[in-house]
Amino acid sequence: MSGRWTLPPLTTGELVPEFKAASRTNPNYHFSTVAGRYVLLAFMPREAARRDAALAAFASVRPLFDDRFLTAFFVASHPDGPEIPADQTPGQRWLFDPEGAVARQLQLGQDEAVWLLLDPALRLLDRAPIDRPEALLARIAAGLPPLDAYPGMVLVAPVLIVPRVFEPEFCRRLIDIYEARGGLRSGVMRDIDGRTVGVLDGMKSRRDVNLENDQALRAEIKERIARTVLPMIGRAYQFRPTRIERYLVSCYDATEGGFFRPHRDNEALATAHRRFACSINLNSEEFDGGDLRFPEFGPRTYRPPTGGAVVFACNLLHEATPVTRGRRYAFLPFFYDEEGQRIRDRNIGFLDSAPARAAGDR
């Protein structure tokens, strides 16, 4: 055997495949959520002397790694143990790949030890053997381009802004319904033990009111969206949604932090059918913070006017920044088509219908 996998190595400009690996705090860490900053991904050698030499070389640029502009992940090819240095935050963490699954996904040779420098979209910017990092580390030390212009121009996320979806009076009506009913704490969907379950953890702080049982109101909402949003999705993305999922009025409250950390909307088995997300602000002038950000496309934020929508593909990494004053009210549906419905029908058996539970509960 040649000692190498059959796939060719990653080349400059290539998107790093999405992968999951065990970290010290999460056995199923989604690496793609680190997008939005430069990432140094190092696949470390098994030999202690070579590993220590690599870490010593990294020390020359370590002060630059602040988790905002730069972060580093070191991948060990064996389980965690006392010989592996502790994580250091900000900027330096370990992942564990004892079966070599991540190395195979990234098309690395067996036992290949390598530095990979990734841009904020997690595309390969540079690479070097683990024992010869001088040029790569010098490139980091010399300064990398700003996050909002790393391709050589100012970035704009591939999102669609659609004003005048809901009229102001209808926005106020939805807010009044939320206030009358009171919102319930909202969880996130995660795949755990082969099932998609709702989990309450530190991923977001939001409360929701579900309008699913109000058929007349749902019809009013659907008519407005069908007339204003769906034709624009067809024009911009050549996609024709035929289904709407979720009739939620949501509230991000400054007194509770009001945020949703970076995530993608279709990563769980029971959410894989989702194609586009839609965020319709109901009171844009009444809060500070609370804007949308798409980290892979720079640090700028997006806020539609009251009654307006931001529409984006569900596989885009995005976050709702913390609300610092007031309350942000929003209507938050997903769109998909008949192919998506077939995926949903196929995966619905994986969905746990129990209420969202605290992380760690079983």
- Residue 107 CA to residue 123 CA, distance in Å, equals 14
pTM: 0.86
Specify the range with the lowest mean pLDDT, choosing from 77-86, 122-131, 187-196.
187-196
Instruction: Report the pLDDT value the prediction gives residue 310, as an integer from 0 to 100.
Output: 98
Residue 190 has pLDDT above 80, yes or no: no
- Residue ranges and CATH numbers for the domains of the chain are 14-142 (3.40.30.10), 160-358 (2.60.120.620)
Instruction: Report the pLDDT value the prediction gives residue 2, as an integer from 0 to 100.
Output: 43
- Residue 257 CA to residue 362 CA, distance in Å, equals 27
Q: Which residue type occupies 344?
A: R
Nearest to 114 by CA among 81, 136, 97: 136
- Residue 127 CA to residue 109 CA, distance in Å, equals 14
Q: How confident is the model at residue 348 (pLDDT cuts 50, 70, 90)?
A: confident
- Residue 281 CA to residue 328 CA, distance in Å, equals 8
For the four alpha carbons of 169, 174, 177 and 183, in that order, the dihedral sign comes to negative
Question: What does the pLDDT look like over 39-71, one tens digit per residue?
Answer: 999 999 999 999 999 999 999 999 999 999 999
Which residues are registered as beta bridge partners of 357?
Answer: 199
- Residue 94 CA to residue 97 CA, distance in Å, equals 10
Instruction: Report the pLDDT value the prediction gives residue 203, as an integer from 0 to 100.
Output: 84
| Helix residue ranges, H only, the chain | 48-58, 101-105, 134-142, 168-181, 215-237, 338-347
Residue 98 has pLDDT above 70, yes or no: yes
- Residue 237 CA to residue 331 CA, distance in Å, equals 22
Question: What does the pLDDT look like over 19-40, one tens digit per residue?
Answer: 999 999 888 899 999 999 999 9
Nearest to 232 by CA among 281, 160, 292, 302: 160
Other beta carbons within 10 angstroms of residue 56's beta carbon come to 9
Residue 356 has pLDDT above 60, yes or no: no
* b/e 137-163 (16+ beta carbons within 10 angstroms → b): beebeeebeebeebeeeebebebbebe
Residue 17 has pLDDT above 60, yes or no: yes
